[in-house]
Structure 1
Amino acid sequence: MNTINQTDIIVVGAGIVGMAHALAAAKRGYKVTVFERNSYAVGASIRNFGMIWPIGQPQSKLRQRALKSREIWKQVAPKAGFHLNQCGSLHLAYREDELAVLQEFVKSEKDNSDVALLSPSEVTAKSHALKSDGLLGGLWSATEMIVDPREAVKKLPSLLNREYGIEFHFSTVVTNIEYSNLIAAGEKWKANKHIFVCSGADFETLYPDVYQKSNITKVKLQMMRTIPQPDNFRIGTSLCGGLTLTHYSAFNDCPSLPALKDRISIETPHFPEWGIHVMVSQNSAGELIIGDSHEHGLNPEPFDKAEINQYILDYLKTFVRVPSLEIAETWHGVYAKLPGKTEFIAHPESGVTIVNALSGAGMTLSFGLAEEVVTNLQESMNLVAVG
């Protein structure tokens, strides 16, 4: 370890959070090096719907962060060569309490031309995959997009290397950081400007004492993928049932939400017990991605529960009608979450920033968050230089 490799910015982790920070730094002229312990990112970044989902974020800096991320996704997708579907989304109401929440939400978004409350006929015109019986209406939002996360996360490193000179070291484990030095696969590296640690759910390895004091936890979700839909059937847009209104913070201020939650807890207590809400997206291959559930704890159970998947499928069938629900694949993902927060940012030592716990919204928020974090870092470094 006599030779010291040097770079400006080091990023630990090549999931979507790590790559977003690498991109934000490289766009500002820094030489960036990324280390990933696996041959490619295999964590939460590839185990999700692929939804870029601004509608789930409240009207605040979080919505703006999501919209900024959306713009960056639109920029990188054609360059990297992965499919991006600007399909929008529908939240559906089959019960009066669900419709009440949607009405209240749309009223609160009166200045947002991207959302609208649709009649049943207008809803079914958006998607031929919906059951019209009992449908009361739906919330249309134009801002949501879909990528296949497995494809996107594998193709982004090539783009970032080609366009921005970002150097990736896969199958390379970072075992020690003492700024400005870092040990990766037994080799010594020096970061002349900064180190970002974006290790996702694998947060026990680096700065474990920081995480231990943070109250961070993990969330396990179960998901499924169907075979490609026959005859090129497309659902048209991403679809959500009324359960989803209880999941995203964008709906938290709707006065009718507590009554909706109470009704769900009484009628179907297994939904809140397992943190189930039901959404479906469709990738470019025609496969439906269906989920999900949420189990909290630092040591998630490695064994998936068949009854959870069945609960999800049974609920999906109450509002979706598609040619095939034959399941080709099931899996679970695990992401880091800091209760009550939308992200965890810490500075365990000078020159090092931890960015983690985007709470299941990494595809939606990472690019926008990275722009904020790196801009703030650049401003602070400039102030230091001037001083």
Structure 2
Amino acid sequence: MNSHFDVAVIGGGIVGLAHALAASRRGLSVGLFERSSAAQGASVRNFGMIWPIGQPGGPLYELALQSRLRWLDLDRQGVVSAETCGSIHVARQPDELAVLEEFCALGSHDARMVNPNQIADLSPLVRTDGLLGGMHSPTELRVDPRTASANIAAWLTETGRADCHFETLISGVSDGRIEASDGRCWRADRILVCSGSDLETLFPESLQKSGLKLCKLQMLKTSQRPPTKPSPHIASGLTLRHYTSFNACPSLAGLRQRIAQQSPELDQYGIHVMASTFPSGDVILGDSHEYGDDISPFDKPQIDDRIIRELRELIHLDDWTVRQRWHGIYAKHTSLPIYHDTPAGAVDVFVGTGGAGMTMAHGLAEQTWQQWAGDPS
């Protein structure tokens, strides 16, 4: 194993892996360091949605599309399975339909309005009773969040693109030097700290003043018969409140007001519902969003119950038995798509992609390396 690298990446989640991949593509020697035996944070506790439709039109949407291409590259190389499934936003209320129509009229995304019959053809899971219409986008991908990060790390190792050190807690970082909790040390010309929701181990003084906040989400999984036809990702009208891509729609304010008046608990717990189906028959359901001091180590059953209640109005499932429940925690910046700081010489911190890490990490990493190297690749 090497003791010196061109680049050392601390953190084996998707943000760290994306930066390691981008460095290796430029012929740099890479060391990747992860405290656990594999990624265990937000990178494995999500829907597996690559979700460009959630990014506002302009540079962030373009970055999401670039990131999407990197996932498809990994699929072509046999590293991960990245399925082009697209997405459907379902409208069951007039204000939801109005927001979707306004969004499509903007022309900022590859999306089109669809009627109930078209929705039924796209996904037999969607309930058509009371359905007014919806919006289809072809750009979204599906990856297995439980295996994707591990597969990328294994491929980096097997192909000699990186030395991956798992079960290695990096407890100290200085200019050109990293130290593990067991006393081992390495040197690197550039050090990237991609520590996810851990804002306390490395550079806590900087991170705690950064405008970052933690978000906890609750999710569930059911198991169905394997589908005969792949389904797009499915999102309800509640989702329009969550993603900034819809903020330019004039009808969104009225939608927000209706939900706040009719169902204040949805805002209290940050609930908007989505479903992602997998070839195995697994369906991942969610989710909620609690921030800062509202975060508890104990999950709230009323959140799970409300998620299921909302989803029962949205989709058909053969079996609603919950096979698994979990929560994830991610860091989110109040205004930036990713928080970047340079707390020491040749040390860069990249954290805080919020719930968009799977969607944005590869694009953000490529942008970073292009800026550093001055290359257009």
Q: Which amino acid aligns with 1:202?
A: D
Instruction: Name the structure 2 match of 1:384.
Output: none
Instruction: Name the structure 1 match of 2:68.
Output: 70
C-alpha offsets along residues 82-133 of structure 1, whole Å, 9 cap, x if unaligned?
3322110000111100000001000001x65x31101111111111111111
Q: Tell me the distance in 1 between the aligned counterparts of 2:2 and 2:246.
A: 51
Instruction: Name the structure 1 match of 2:350.
Output: 355
2:266 is aligned, of 260, 264, 271, to 271
More divergent stretch after superposition (154-163 vs 164-173): 154-163
| 1:281 is the counterpart of 2:276 | yes
Instruction: Name the structure 1 match of 2:124.
Output: 128
Q: Which amino acid aligns with 1:59?
A: G
Instruction: Name the structure 2 match of 1:385.
Output: none
| 1:190 is the counterpart of 2:187 | yes
Quote how far apart the aligned CAs of 1:231 are. 5.6
C-alpha offsets along residues 118-161 of structure 1, whole Å, 9 cap, x if unaligned?
11111111111111111111100000011111111111111122
Q: Tell me the distance in 2 between the aligned counterparts of 1:294 and 1:234.
A: 31
Task: Map 1:318-357; keep pairs closer than 5 Å.
Answer: 318-357=313-352
Instruction: Name the structure 2 match of 1:86.
Output: 84
Q: Is the 8 A contact 2:226 2:281 kept in 1?
A: no
2:307 is aligned, of 279, 303, 312, to 312
Q: Tell me the distance in 2 between the aligned counterparts of 1:125 and 1:303.
A: 40
C-alpha offsets along residues 303-355 of structure 1, whole Å, 9 cap, x if unaligned?
00111001000000111112112110000000001112221011111201100
Q: Is the 8 A contact 1:128 1:235 kept in 2?
A: no
**Structure 1 residues 299 and 91: alpha-carbon distance in aligned structure 2, compared to 1, 3 A threshold:** closer
C-alpha offsets along residues 202-261 of structure 1, whole Å, 9 cap, x if unaligned?
12000011112112110000000102x126455611101100000000000100000000
| 1:248 is the counterpart of 2:221 | no
SS at structure 2 position matched to 1:217: strand
C-alpha offsets along residues 20-67 of structure 1, whole Å, 9 cap, x if unaligned?
000001101110000000000100000000000000001111101110
| 1:14 is the counterpart of 2:9 | no
Seq. identity, %: 41
**Structure 1 residues 47 and 237: alpha-carbon distance in aligned structure 2, compared to 1, 3 A threshold:** same
Q: Is the 8 A contact 2:212 2:333 kept in 1?
A: yes
TM-score (norm 1): 0.93
Q: Which amino acid aligns with 1:152?
A: A
Task: Map 1:158-173; keep pairs closer than 5 Å.
Answer: 158-163=154-159, 165-173=161-169
Q: Is the 8 A contact 1:217 1:298 kept in 2?
A: no
**Structure 1 residues 95 and 201: alpha-carbon distance in aligned structure 2, compared to 1, 3 A threshold:** same
**Structure 1 residues 356 and 231: alpha-carbon distance in aligned structure 2, compared to 1, 3 A threshold:** closer
2:21 is aligned, of 16, 20, 23, to 23
Q: Is the 8 A contact 2:85 2:230 kept in 1?
A: no
Instruction: Name the structure 1 match of 2:298.
Output: 303
Q: Which amino acid aligns with 2:183?
A: G
Instruction: Name the structure 1 match of 2:100.
Output: 102
**Structure 1 residues 372 and 164: alpha-carbon distance in aligned structure 2, compared to 1, 3 A threshold:** farther
Q: Which amino acid aligns with 1:287?
A: D
Q: Tell me the distance in 2 between the aligned counterparts of 1:270 and 1:236.
A: 29
Q: Tell me the distance in 2 between the aligned counterparts of 1:218 and 1:199.
A: 13
Q: Is the 8 A contact 2:233 2:277 kept in 1?
A: yes
Q: Is the 8 A contact 2:226 2:280 kept in 1?
A: no
More divergent stretch after superposition (59-68 vs 298-307): 298-307
Q: Tell me the distance in 2 between the aligned counterparts of 1:378 and 1:208.
A: 29
| 1:5 is the counterpart of 2:23 | no
**Structure 1 residues 84 and 361: alpha-carbon distance in aligned structure 2, compared to 1, 3 A threshold:** same
Question: What is the count of residue pairs matched by the alignment?
Answer: 374
Q: Which amino acid aligns with 1:206?
A: L
Q: Which amino acid aligns with 1:188?
A: C
Quote how far apart the aligned CAs of 1:80 are. 4.1
Q: Is the 8 A contact 1:230 1:324 kept in 2?
A: no
More divergent stretch after superposition (250-259 vs 341-350): 341-350
Quote how far apart the aligned CAs of 1:298 are. 6.0
| 1:208 is the counterpart of 2:204 | yes
Quote how far apart the aligned CAs of 1:162 are. 2.9
| 1:156 is the counterpart of 2:152 | yes
SS at structure 1 position matched to 2:364: helix
| 1:239 is the counterpart of 2:234 | yes
Q: Tell me the distance in 2 between the aligned counterparts of 1:170 and 1:236.
A: 35
Q: Is the 8 A contact 1:218 1:298 kept in 2?
A: no
Q: Tell me the distance in 1 between the aligned counterparts of 2:23 and 2:173.
A: 20
1:143 is aligned, of 139, 149, 169, to 139
Q: Is the 8 A contact 2:199 2:207 kept in 1?
A: yes
Q: Which amino acid aligns with 1:171?
A: E
